[in-house]
Amino acid sequence: MSDRIFLRGIELHAYHGLYEEEARLGQRFVIDVDWWLDAHPAAQHDDYAETVGYEKVFETVHAVSAGHRFHIIEAFAEAIAAEILRRYARVERVRVEVHKPNAPIPGVLRDVGVEIVRQRD
C-alpha cells in the first residue's frame, strides 16, 4: 500500500542558473514535493516516528539548495529527489517540481519549471 504526502509552494531565494546575474543576484524558486510511503502504520498508531514528516522534507529541500549551485533546474530537482530517497528509507517514490517564475526569458510568462518522478529500484 502506498500513500502520498505533499508539500506545496516552498519558496527559496537561491543562486541557481546558467547566467552570471543569476549566480550574483539570485532569484525566487518555488518547489512542490510529493512522496509516497505506507502511511498506515503511522496513522494506525498515531505515531510520528513511523512516517516522513513534511518539516523533514522541507529541511532537505533547503539543504540541497544551499549545498550546491545548479546550472539547470533539472539537476536541482534531481538532487532534491535523490536526497529525499537517500535520507528517508520509508519513501518509495518522490515527485519534485521546481518552478522558476522569474526565468530570464525576454517576454511575458507566468512560470517555467520541471517535474521529475523517481522511485527506489
Question: CB-hemisphere CA count at 13 Å for 37?
Answer: 19
Could you tell me the domains of the chain? 3-91 (3.30.1130.10)
Look at residue 109 in the predicted model and tell me its pLDDT.
87
pLDDT value for 31: 98
| pLDDT over 80 (residue 1) | no
Q: Which residue has the cell 518509495?
A: 92
Tell me the HSE value of 7 on the side-chain side, using a 13 A CA sphere: 24
Contact 33, 10 (CB under 8 A): yes
| Catalytic residue ranges | 100
What sign for the dihedral angle of Cα 89, 91, 95, 98?
negative
pLDDT at 99: 97
pLDDT tens digits along 15-62: 999 989 989 999 999 999 999 999 999 999 999 999 999 999 999 999
Alpha-carbon distance of 61 to 98, in angstroms, equals 11
Q: How many residues does the chain have?
A: 121
List, for residues 60-70, the tens digit of each pLDDT value: 999 999 999 99
pLDDT, residue 14, reads 96
Mean pLDDT throughout 73-86?
98
Q: Which three cell numbers stand for residue 29?
A: 524558486
